[in-house]
């Protein structure tokens, strides 16, 4: 069995920790005594052995780390710490260690030991009807792929895509929890389960207009065929972003029809009332009224 000795930060090889990750150079026992840790020395890299990866090009990994054969580095020094930081940046590994394997004169041979992040075997949804699964799969098509690397960023983006999908349907308070399980049938693979609680569809408490000096707010609300306030007879109150855009266009179309050709919506803002219902404010610029013969 190989034995490794972690070098103390006292002898400068461990420069600092980056985001909680270790930047330490490790030394094989049989190389101890060949390096004077009190005085940095320049070595030429004679070889780099990559351990722990299956389908990745070892030369590419060494190159990304900046530890190409023939390059000269200082030991102790910043080169190894920088190499480890570079490898963390690509987010493909959960553990990174660099060892001095052997030294021949001024030639150093390095060993990079890596633990690859797990890959995705499959994912599923919980808490929603199967009729929505196809749409959710489409929403995640550019985020999750079978065999792809699973990172915390990947999971966060997947959760965001799911929330965006339901928000487009009027569910602004959807909750999504992602659970990760090891796949017993595949080595270093995981399956993800998205536990979804869409909660109730949001309702609209009120719609306010600002800047409409020539057209009353009541008239403008009537031009909004989709988004209605709570209490409107024969029409459920709901808020669908796409339909809201259509209603804003209808308001401007009405203004144009009655002669306000420069009318436009300056902004729309949304908030919540005490019951969690949506309150919408639409700021308008009416402009000059044009008369046509």
CATH number of the CATH domain containing 107:
3.10.20.310
Containing structural domain, residue 70: 4-116
pLDDT at site 76: 82
Q: How confident is the model at residue 232 (pLDDT cuts 50, 70, 90)?
A: confident
* 126 and 166 both lie in a single domain: yes
* 209 and 127 both lie in a single domain: no
Q: How confident is the model at residue 282 (pLDDT cuts 50, 70, 90)?
A: very high
> What average pLDDT score do residues 208-236 get?
90
* 44 and 127 both lie in a single domain: no
**Of 116, 146, 181, which one is at a domain's C-terminal end?**
116
Q: How confident is the model at residue 216 (pLDDT cuts 50, 70, 90)?
A: very high
Q: Is residue 293 part of a domain?
A: no
Reported as a single tens digit per residue, the pLDDT across 178-198 is: 999 998 888 889 999 999 999
* 188 and 244 both lie in a single domain: no
* 126 and 213 both lie in a single domain: no
- Rounded distance between C-alpha atoms, residue 140 and residue 243, angstroms: 23
Total domains in the chain come to: 3
Dig out the tokens for 130 from the structure: 């199967």
Which is more confident, 261 or 8? 261
* 83 and 161 both lie in a single domain: no
> What average pLDDT score do residues 140-163 get?
93
Distances (CA, A) of 223 to 81, 147, 162, 220, 267: 64, 50, 32, 5, 18
* 125 and 168 both lie in a single domain: yes
> CB–CB of 230/205 below 8 Å?
yes
pLDDT at site 17: 37
- What's the whole-model pTM score? 0.73
């Amino acid at each position: 069995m190989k034995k490794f000795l972690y070098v103390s930060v006292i002898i400068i090889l461990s420069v600092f920790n980056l985001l909680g990750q270790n930047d330490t150079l490790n030394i094989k026992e049989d190389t101890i005594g060949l390096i004077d840790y009190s005085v940095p020395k320049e070595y030429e890299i004679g070889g780099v052995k990559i351990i722990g990866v299956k389908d990745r090009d070892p030369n590419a990994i060494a190159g990304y780390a900046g530890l190409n054969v023939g390059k000269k580095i200082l030991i102790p020094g910043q080169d190894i710490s920088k190499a480890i930081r570079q490898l963390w940046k690509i987010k493909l590994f959960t553990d990174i260690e660099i060892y001095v394997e052997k030294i021949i004169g001024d030639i150093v041979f390095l060993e990079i030991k890596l633990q690859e992040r797990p890959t995705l075997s499959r994912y599923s949804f919980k808490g929603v009807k199967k009729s929505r699964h196809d749409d959710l799969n489409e929403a995640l098509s550019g985020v999750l792929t079978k065999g792809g690397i699973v990172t915390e960023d990947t999971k966060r983006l997947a959760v965001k895509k799911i929330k965006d999908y339901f928000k487009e349907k009027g569910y602004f308070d959807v909750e999504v929890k992602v659970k990760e399980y090891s796949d017993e049938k595949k080595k270093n693979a995981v399956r993800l389960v998205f536990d979804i609680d869409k909660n109730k569809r949001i309702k609209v408490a009120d719609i306010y207009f600002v800047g409409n000096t020539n057209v009353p707010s009541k008239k403008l609300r009537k031009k909004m065929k989709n988004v209605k306030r709570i209490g409107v007879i024969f029409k459920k109150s709901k808020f669908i972003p796409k339909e809201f855009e259509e209603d804003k266009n209808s308001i401007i179309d009405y203004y144009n029809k009655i002669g306000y050709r420069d009318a436009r919506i300056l902004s729309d803002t949304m908030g919540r009332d005490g019951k969690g219902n949506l309150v919408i404010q639409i700021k308008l610029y009416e402009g000059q009224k044009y008369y046509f013969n």
